[in-house]
C-alpha cells in the first residue's frame, strides 16, 4: 500500500482505508469439498486485463504506436501490484506475431511481448498471454483443417516464452465463436494447441476458453464436448461474464432501464460454476466488468465474493485497464488527476490470497492428510475433514461447555465446522 500513499491525495487515502477494513468472521473454518486431478494451487489470483495489443484489428498487422500498443513500461503495472494484484492478462493478435500460418514469428512482436513480461515481472506480477482472435485468423473462422497451424503458433510461442519467470500461462484464444463444427471443432483445436505447448514446456498453465464467447451464462449449452487432456495436469477452463441484458459487456441500456440487481449474479454464473464442480476441474474468469455508475457497484462486489468462495475458481482478471481506453466506462485505468474509479475500489477488497485447502483425490475415514504444502494436518471422518487444531479447540471448549458438540454443516462452498450446544441440533 506504500505506492497508494503516493498515488492518491490524503483525503482519498483516508476514504480508501475506511473502505478496506477487513472483517474476520470467526464462526467456522471453511474447507473445500471439491476433488481435482490437477497440479497444486495455493493462491486465489486476482488482477486485470492490460489492453492495447489487441487494438487496431482493422489494420493488420498495423503500426505499433499508431494502431496498437503494448504495456512495456514497469510503471504501468505499479498501481495494480500496489493494490495486491498479482495477475495480468495481456491480449495480442495472432496476425501480428505470425503474419502467415506456419511462418516464423515476427521478431519485433516477440520482443514487445518479452518486454511486457519483463515489465510485469519487475512488480512480481504474472502474465497470461491471451491470443485475442475470437476463433479467427485474418477474419476467417478456424476449422478442423487449421489444427496444425493453430498448434504451430502455440508451439513457437511456448518455445520463446515458456520458461519466462513472469509467465503464468497461455490462454489459447479469446472468445471463440461461430466456427464451422462449433464446440466439437474448438475442442480439437484446443487439444492440438495444448499438445504443442506441452511438447515445448510443462511450466505454464494452459487456459482453455469456453466456446461461444466464453459466456458463463450459457456454458453448459455451448461446451458439452469441452475437455482437454494435459499430461502436466495444469489446465484452467476460462469464462467471461458481464451483467448487462445480453452478456455483451456493452452496457447499452441506461442504469434506470438496466436495473442492476446483485441478487441475480449467482444465477448468471451458475452454469459455468456447476460445470466446473461436476467435472472436477479448475476455472478462472478472465473477463468481467461493470460501468462506473454507483448502481452497478454492488453487482461487482457480489460477484467477487461469489468467486472468492468457490473452491473450483482459481481467481480472475477484471476487464479492463490500458493507457488508450480514454473514457471507456468499464476502465479502471488510474486517472491523471488521481481520482480512483469505483470499480477499482471494489477490486481493492480482493487482493491475491491463499487458496482454500482441497480434498485429496483418495481419502477414507481415518486417513491423515495435508494440503498443497500446508503444514496443517487434517483427519478424514465419514462426514468430512476435521483439522487437528479444531480437535484441540473442541476439547478445551467441551471442558467449559460439557453439552457442546462439533457439528459439520455442508454447503455449496464446502464444510463449515461450528461449535454448538447439543440441544440446538448438534450430534455426538
54 assigned to active site: no
One-letter-per-residue 3-state SS of 176-240: CCCCCCHHHHHHHHHHHHHHHHHCCCCCCEEEEECCCCCEHHHHHHHCCCCCCCCCCCCEEEEEE
249: left (phi over 0), alpha (psi -120 to 50) or beta: left
Torsion angle of the four alpha carbons 129, 133, 137, 140, in this order, in degrees rounded to the nearest 10:
160
- In the DSSP assignment, the letter for residue 249 is S
Q: Is 287 a catalytic residue?
A: yes
Distance in angstroms (rounded) separating the CA atoms of residues 262 and 272: 18
Q: Residue 213: count other Cβ atoms within 10 Å of its Cβ.
A: 24
User: How does DSSP classify residue 35?
Assistant: B
Of these residues, 76, 95, 287, 333, which one is catalytic? 287
DSSP state of 64: B
Give the C-alpha separation, 14 to 91, whole Å: 35
Q: Which of 76, 175, 333, 383 is catalytic?
A: 175
Other Cβ atoms less than 10 A from the Cβ of 152: the count is: 19
SS3 content of the chain, % helix, strand, coil (to 5): 35, 25, 45
Distance from C-alpha of 189 to C-alpha of 147, rounded to nearest angstrom: 5
Rounded to whole angstroms, how far apart are CA atoms 155 and 159?
A: 6
State the Cα–Cα distance between residues 22 and 286, nearest whole angstrom: 25
Q: Are 50 and 76 in contact (CB under 8 A)?
A: yes
Give CA–CA dist 92/34, Å, rounded: 34
| Alpha carbon distance 271, 369 (integer Å) | 32
Q: Does residue 187 contact residue 154 with C-beta atoms inside 8 Å?
A: no
Q: What are the grid coordinates assigned to 232, written together?
A: 502436466
C-alpha to C-alpha distance for 348 and 345, rounded to whole angstroms: 5
Closest listed residue to residue 249, CA positions, set 202, 284, 217: 217
How far apart are alpha carbons 19 and 383 in whole angstroms?
Answer: 38
CA separation for the pair 19, 12 (Å, rounded): 11
Question: What are the residue numbers of the active site?
Answer: 175, 287
Amino acid at each position: 500500500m506504500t505506492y497508494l500513499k503516493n498515488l492518491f491525495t490524503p483525503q482519498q487515502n483516508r476514504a480508501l482505508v475506511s473502505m478496506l477494513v477487513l472483517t474476520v468472521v470467526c464462526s467456522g473454518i471453511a474447507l473445500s469439498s471439491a476433488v481435482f486431478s490437477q497440479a497444486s494451487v495455493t493462491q486465489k489470483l486476482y488482477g486485470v486485463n492490460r489492453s492495447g495489443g489487441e487494438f487496431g484489428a482493422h489494420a493488420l498487422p498495423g503500426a505499433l504506436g499508431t494502431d496498437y500498443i503494448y504495456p512495456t513500461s514497469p510503471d504501468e503495472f505499479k498501481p495494480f501490484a500496489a493494490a495486491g494484484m498479482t495477475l495480468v492478462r495481456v491480449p495480442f493478435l495472432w496476425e501480428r506475431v505470425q503474419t502467415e500460418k506456419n511462418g516464423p514469428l515476427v521478431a519485433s512482436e516477440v520482443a514487445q511481448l518479452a518486454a511486457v513480461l519483463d515489465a510485469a515481472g519487475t512488480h512480481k506480477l504474472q502474465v497470461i498471454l491471451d491470443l485475442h482472435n475470437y476463433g479467427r485468423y485474418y477474419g476467417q473462422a478456424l476449422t478442423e483443417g487449421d489444427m496444425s497451424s493453430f498448434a504451430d503458433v502455440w508451439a513457437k510461442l511456448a518455445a520463446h516464452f515458456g520458461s519466462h519467470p513472469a509467465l503464468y500461462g497461455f490462454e489459447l484464444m479469446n472468445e471463440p465463436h461461430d466456427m464451422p463444427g462449433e464446440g466439437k471443432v474448438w475442442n480439437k483445436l484446443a487439444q492440438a494447441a495444448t499438445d504443442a505447448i506441452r511438447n515445448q514446456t510443462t511450466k505454464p498453465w494452459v487456459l482453455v476458453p469456453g466456446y461461444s464467447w466464453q459466456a458463463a451464462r450459457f456454458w453448459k449449452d455451448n461446451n458439452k464436448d469441452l475437455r482437454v487432456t494435459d499430461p502436466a495436469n495444469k489446465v484452467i477452463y476460462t469464462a467471461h461474464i458481464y451483467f448487462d441484458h445480453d452478456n455483451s459487456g456493452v452496457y447499452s441500456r441506461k442504469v434506470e432501464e438496466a436495473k442492476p440487481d446483485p441478487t441475480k449474479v449467482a444465477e448468471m454464473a451458475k452454469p459455468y460454476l456447476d460445470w466446473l464442480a461436476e467435472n472436477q476441474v479448475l476455472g478462472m474468469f478472465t473477463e468481467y466488468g461493470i460501468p462506473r455508475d454507483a448502481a452497478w457497484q454492488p453487482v461487482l462486489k457480489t460477484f467477487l465474493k461469489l468467486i472468492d468462495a468457490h473452491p473450483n475458481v482459481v481467481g480472475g482478471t477484471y476487464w479492463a485497464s490500458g493507457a488508450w481506453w480514454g473514457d471507456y466506462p468499464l476502465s479502471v485505468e488510474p486517472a491523471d488527476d488521481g481520482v480512483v474509479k469505483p470499480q477499482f475500489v471494489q477490486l481493492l477488497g480482493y487482493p491475491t490470497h491463499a487458496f482454500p485447502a482441497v480434498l485429496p483425490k483418495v481419502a477414507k475415514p481415518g486417513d491423515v492428510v495435508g494440503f498443497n504444502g500446508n503444514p496443517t494436518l487434517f483427519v478424514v471422518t465419514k462426514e468430512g475433514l476435521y483439522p487437528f487444531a479444531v480437535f484441540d479447540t473442541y476439547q478445551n471448549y467441551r471442558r467449559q461447555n460439557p453439552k457442546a458438540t462439533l457439528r459439520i454443516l455442508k454447503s455449496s462452498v464446502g464444510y463449515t465446522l461450528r461449535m454448538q450446544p447439543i440441544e440446538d441440533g448438534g450430534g455426538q
